[in-house]
Amino acid sequence: MKKTEWIWFNGKLVPWAEANIHVSTHALHYGTGVFEGIRCYETSQGPAVFRLRAHIERLLNSASAYFKVPFTGEQMEAACLEVIRANHLTSCYLRPIAYLGAGNLGVGRSDNPVEVAILAFPWDTYLGDEAMREGVRICFSRWHRIALSSLPMNLKACGQYLNSYLAVTEAHRRGFNEAIMLNDSGNIAEGSGENLFLVQHGRLVTNGAESAILPGITRDSVLRIAREQGLEIEERPLHVNDLKQAQEAFFTGTAAEVTPIREIDSRLDEASQGEVFRFEVPGPVTQRLQSAYFDAVKGRAERHQDWLTRVQ
């Protein structure tokens, strides 16, 4: 991680080394925090944050299930821009986080103070430059996505990421780039930090919130671009058998952007039954959507200027 000079912490900029918390912080013990991942891209008119409002709205919506954030959406948006400017960054990843702070360690102590921080730091392609061109290799995880009856999975809360952590570290140990988790209905949910799209005979297919996914802002952007391109779209649960009918597959996410998938191994370990599904890379539909997505984030798409918030 490339450290920067300043972190926005509870309303003001503090040096990176001083943005610390106490070990009795509630969120450290129980995962009681919510966060966002946002990217700021270099454009011909200077740095611009992609879909800032949508991310801050999701942050506050995630928080509303757990606690109240002591800043408004406008204040949070302004703080994101302030921390980019203070660090003189031309492109970066933003990580706003709000969490229950120190006070009392009772699980139900929703009266502990809520703290808010925003980190801004350079972060290259999440799954690697090669992955963007050549595609990634994915395996099914033996860890299922947390059920909708257990947590509101459409929100982005810290504790949910124990589930992602188990899935992705298991995939790495097995030599894969990422994992795909099934949900408690046995259908496909998503990656540890990405949504999944398939292309079946030119039609774009992806699942929705009913499948226990985080409905991504990148997913939404890609769906809007696909509609503009006149692509046929189906939003419905994804069955394992859908992989057999797909010629292309890709992941979307703020960190992963639009990453082609080369292979999905449905075996849960080397000894178990299952199939290896292989996809076309670069697939023509994936390539078209990936390139339109990069045009949008980098300010080259006239019709998507309203997705960008200029930093200066």
Catalytic residues: 156
- What's the per-residue H, E or C state across the chain? CCCCCEEEECCEEEEHHHCCCCCCCHHHHHCCEEECCEEEEEECCEEEEECHHHHHHHHHHHHHCCCCCCCCHHHHHHHHHHHHHHCCCCCEEEEEEEEECCCCCCCCCCCCCEEEEEEEECCCCCCCHHHHHHCEEEEECCCCCCCCCCCCCCCCEHHHHHHHHHHHHHHHHCCCCEEEEECCCCCEEEECCCEEEEEECCEEEECCHHHCCCCCHHHHHHHHHHHHCCCCEEECCECHHHHCCCCEEEEEECCCEEEEEEEEECCCCCCCCCCEEECCCCCHHHHHHHHHHHHHHCCCCHHHHHHEEECC
Binder of ligand PLP out of 52, 94, 204, 214 (CB under 6 A)? 214
Phi, psi (rounded to 5 degrees) for 218: -70, -40
- For tokens 């947590």, the residue is 151
Comparing CB distances to ligand PLP, the nearer of 101 and 260 is 260
Q: Minimum distance from CB of 246 to ligand PLP (Å)?
A: 19
Output 55 or 137, the one with its CB closest to ligand PLP.
Answer: 55
Asked if 217 touches ligand PLP (CB under 6 A), the answer is yes
Smallest distance, ligand PLP to C-beta of residue 58, A: 7
Q: How far is the CB of 36 from ligand PLP (least distance, A)?
A: 8
Q: Are 234 and 226 in contact (CB under 8 A)?
A: no
Q: Which stretch binds ligand PLP (CB under 6 A): 209-217, 231-239, 279-287, 290-298?
A: 209-217
The answer to the question of residue 101 lying near ligand PLP (CB under 6 A) is no
Which listed range, 3-11, 21-29, 216-224, 283-291, lies at the site for ligand PLP (CB under 6 A)?
A: 216-224
Measured from the CB atom, the residue of 6 and 297 that comes closer to ligand PLP is: 297
- Residues between 53 and 82 with contacts to ligand PLP, criterion CB under 6 A: none
Nearest approach in angstroms of CB 192 to ligand PLP is 6
Q: Is residue 253 at the binding interface for ligand PLP, with CB under 6 A as the rule?
A: yes
One residue of 254, 259, 286, 290 binding ligand PLP per CB under 6 A: 254
Task: List the Cα angle 258/163/248 in 5-degree steps.
Answer: 30
Count residues contacting ligand PLP (CB under 6 A)?
Answer: 14
Q: Report the nearest approach of ligand PLP to the CB of residue 64 (Å).
A: 17
Out of 33, 47, 135, 216, the only residue in the binding site for ligand PLP (CB under 6 A) is: 216
- Residues in contact with ligand PLP, shown as a per-residue x/- string from 150 to 179 under the rule CB under 6 A: --------------x---------------
Residues numbered 24-53 forming contacts with ligand PLP, rule: CB under 6 A: 37
Smallest CA-to-CA distance from 51 within 2, 3, 94 is with: 94
Stretch of 80-88, 167-175, 215-223, 239-247 contacting ligand PLP, by CB under 6 A: 215-223
Among 115, 170, 194, 265, binds ligand PLP (CB under 6 A): 194
Residue 59 or 84 having the CB closest to ligand PLP: 59
Euclidean distance between CA atoms 52 and 151, whole angstroms: 25
**Interface with ligand PLP by CB under 6 A: which residues?**
37, 164, 190, 193-195, 214, 216-219, 252-254
